[in-house]
Amino acid sequence: MEKEFNAGQAVKADSFNGIDIYRIDTDKFKTSSIHIFFHDNLTRENVTKNALLPAVMRRGSKAYPSLKDISMELENLYGASFDCGVSKKGERHLMHFYIEFLSKKYTPDGTDTFEAGLRLLSDIVTRPAFVNGVFNEEHMISEKDKLRILIEGRVNDKMSYSMERCLEEVCRHEPYGIYDYGFVEDLAQITAEELTRHYVKMVETFPMQVFLTGNISDAEADRVAELLRGLTRKDTLALRDGFTAKVNVEPRYVTETMNVTQGKLCLGYRTNTPPGSQEYRALMIYSGILGGGTHSKLFQNVREKAGLAYYSHAMLEKFKGLMVISSGIDIKDKDRTMEIIEKQLDDISNGNISDREMDATLKSMETGIKSLTDSQIHIVDFYLSQMMSGTSDSFGDVIKKIRQVKREDVIRAAQKITLDTVYFLTAPEDGQQAAVE
């Protein structure tokens, strides 16, 4: 089975000064890649600076002082790709820098693409193009404006926005409730000097994880370690465990109005199942049976049979211990949709799970897991999540474990689910103004 979709196993190659280096050796791709992650705790104080920092850093470095210089070097590397950005996993805020390039064995002239790619990426990460010792002010102004537009534009995708807002309401008193791209009102306060100080803090104290994927030699892995050992590193930041269990919660009901024609009903739950536990695989199956595809109870009963939803699905937030059910509905159908959704949860808790539902969910999950191995970024994200969970499963291990899940395991996972928040994005009533424009 493993040979069918072998994407390599992540193996720790080195660890020092709060830096972990992993290798994922695979011949599946003609490209190799280098990924650098900096981990911070998600906080209001740092979130906007963390979101702005990679955007400013990508504008240039000492050896490649402009976007044009970086683009030219990427072209010289046979059309290599470079990118960076931020995301949140549980209560961690991650800054990700990566480069993907044609492996040396496939270059027509034997160019050492790994060394060249490493040189470019490390220069961007460790040697920014400072002006008088701080980040370029023009770059700051430009990237602040882009980040402002991105934050303000989150309302444009109503499905994504409503799910995010639901989980933010669930975690309104917890760090996970912080939007991962920060706050518009905080942008103006960030000076070039402050962002530079924050950059130094990131490089010196934030835990780092480096993933090398593709055709990687021992000498190349050693070269990365040698380079990173040259960084000035101080006491490494201690990271929080963001998982939160809550039972016997009194559900909250939150309504937000906007000029919409379709209502967005989102239900936020506490799963009470830790991401590294044996029970988590059963929770994955539970989520798939409930709302993981066309075979799921939500799709079949809310969308198809009752005709109430344009879409209805469930999604897990692994690290925080959350689940959200999201449905797009006619505004008048809110209460009826709630009733049918609640019945689906009750049915699973009471053991009403057919063999067809179990089999279809397993097949759908296997297909989804295997599809992740078609992308180096997805492979890296998979193993990054494994490390954060304290597990070390391969893709094949995960498939093997979900195949071992029994109906009774799913029922136990279902019975631990607790409704926390009901969020409804709807249109204002006649005579009222929308709460968010």
**Distance between CA atoms of residues 120 and 61, nearest Å:** 9
Q: What is the DSSP string of 187-241?
A: HTT--HHHHHHHHHHHHHHS-EEEEEEES--HHHHHHHHHHHHTS---SPPPPP-
One-letter amino acid at 386 equals Q
Q: What is the pTM of this model?
A: 0.94
Q: What is the pLDDT along the chain (437 residues), one digit of tens a residue?
A: 344 456 789 999 999 999 999 999 999 999 999 999 999 999 999 999 999 999 999 999 999 999 999 999 999 999 999 999 999 999 999 999 999 999 999 999 888 999 999 999 999 999 999 999 999 999 999 999 999 999 999 999 999 999 999 999 999 999 999 999 999 999 999 999 999 999 999 999 999 999 999 999 999 999 999 999 999 999 999 999 899 999 989 999 999 999 999 999 999 999 999 999 999 999 999 999 999 999 999 999 999 999 999 999 999 999 999 999 999 999 999 999 999 999 999 999 999 999 999 999 999 999 999 999 999 999 999 999 999 999 999 999 999 999 999 999 999 999 999 999 999 999 998 656 555 43
pLDDT of residue 429: 81
Nearest to residue 60, comparing CAs of 142, 150, 120, 118? 120
Q: What is the DSSP string of 342-360?
A: HHHHHHHHTT---HHHHHH
49-74 as b/e, with b when 16 or more CB fall inside 10 Å? bbbbbbbbbbbbbeebeeeeebeebb
Joined tokens for residue 106:
């496939």
**In the chain, what are the domains?**
2-229 (3.30.830.10), 252-426 (3.30.830.10)
Q: Are 293 and 360 in contact (CB under 8 A)?
A: yes
pLDDT of residue 1: 36
Nearest to residue 122, comparing CAs of 48, 47, 210? 210
Nearest 5 degrees, angle CA 165-CA 206-CA 40? 10
